[in-house]
Amino acid sequence: MRHVLLVMSVVVMASGCHHIGSLFEDAGADADSDSDSDSDTDTDVDTDSDSDTDTDSDSDTDADSDSDTDTGTDTDCPLGTYSGDLEITTQSDVAALAGYTSISGDLEIYCPSCTDLSELICLTSVGGELDIKFNYALTNLDGLSALTSVGADLWIDHNTALTNLDGLNALTSVGGVLWILENETLTNLDGLSALTSVSMKLSIWGNTALTDLDGLSALTSLGGGLVVICNATLTNLDGLNALTSVGALNIKENASLTNLDGLSALVSVSHDFDIYNNPSLTNLDGLSALTSVDWDFIIQCNGALPDCEACDLLGQITSGPIATNVHDNLSDSCTPVPASCP
């Protein structure tokens, strides 16, 4: 198995739902002998009486049963922790990792021809990054069903045949950024239903078939920003209703998004607040709990959203922002015009 050092860059165009490019560079079973030795030592005792023989027979049966159980468990996942980074580029690379329970470094799954990750069933943790990228034939992540934690970033990126994330249903924490980018056939995030904590940013970008975020309903802790951009069929943010604070908030260019009701618990944004070019968005009622924006407040180019909605929201902010930009939304006449509106 080759070690790899991953070097990656993401290029984001300044406007429009452009593609995001990624650049890569070659960056013991328990023995059964105990039971056998018990059987050998019992022969002297058996000559004493039939009763002793029966007792010894029961004892030997128990010993065999215990030994078989231990051996089965160890045989399933015998290899423990792999120290270092690993790369999967072929289906045979997947097979070579069978039996490992953890990887101390990064794991990159970059395998355009791979169809099956089932031999990773023992894997419970990745200490560094987990990159699942450019796997064009992979339809599911079922082989990762034992994975509970990723120590750094988790990338799920450009997997064009991936329809769900159900194989990640044991994952509870991501120690870095969670990137879900340009998975063209991904329809839902239900496989992330156990995820409670993302230490840095959550970015959901360019997943054209994604219709909802309901699978994120257990997420209570987000250490960085929330980015939801260019998801053409996403209609709401309802799976985010447990979040009370985020870093930056960027909701941009989601053509079918009609409301922000999924952000009903959000109280504070510690960086920029940016609602831009969501043409179906008609109201901001879901932000009724928001009282603090530390940096820029931007509501711009949402063609079905009345300017009065934006001005009213700005009026309820009691802390910040340092700058405001409300324009090119649906023009209307606010009566009276909120004093806080430009």
pLDDT tens, 150-178?
A: 999 999 999 999 999 999 999 999 999 99
pLDDT, position 333: 59
Residue 119 has pLDDT above 90, yes or no: yes
Return the closest-CA partner of residue 266 out of 229, 313, 312, 323: 313
Model pTM score: 0.79
Report CA dihedral (50, 52, 57, 62) to the nearest 10 degrees: 160
Return the closest-CA partner of residue 250 out of 225, 268, 267: 225
Residue 103 has pLDDT above 60, yes or no: yes
Return the closest-CA partner of residue 195 out of 177, 164, 221, 176: 221
Q: DSSP assignment of 27-76, as one string?
A: --PPPSHHHHHHHHHHHHHHTT-HHHHHHHHHHHHHHHHHHHHHHHHHHH
111 phi and psi angles, rounded to 5 deg: -140, 90
- Percentage of residues in the chain with pLDDT exceeding 90? 70
pLDDT tens, 245-301?
A: 999 999 999 999 999 999 999 999 999 999 999 999 999 999 999 999 999 999 999
Q: Is 276 helix (H, G, I), strand (E, B) or coil?
A: strand
Residue 322: is it exposed, middle or buried by C-beta count within 10 angstroms (0-12/13-18/19+)?
Answer: exposed
* Cis check: omega of the bond before 78, within 30 degrees of 0: no
Q: Average pLDDT, stretch 58-82?
A: 56
Question: Using CA atoms, how far apart are residues 246 and 341, in angstroms rounded to an integer?
Answer: 24
Residue 335: is it exposed, middle or buried by C-beta count within 10 angstroms (0-12/13-18/19+)?
Answer: exposed
**199 CB contacts (<8 Å, ≥6 apart)?**
173, 174, 175, 176, 223, 224
The answer to whether 248 and 272 are in contact (CB under 8 A) is yes
Residue type, 156: I
Instruction: Give the CA distances from residue 147 to residues 70, 107, 123, 169, 257, in Å, rounded to whole numbers and listed in that order.
Output: 22, 12, 6, 8, 32
Tokens 């996942």 sit on residue: 77
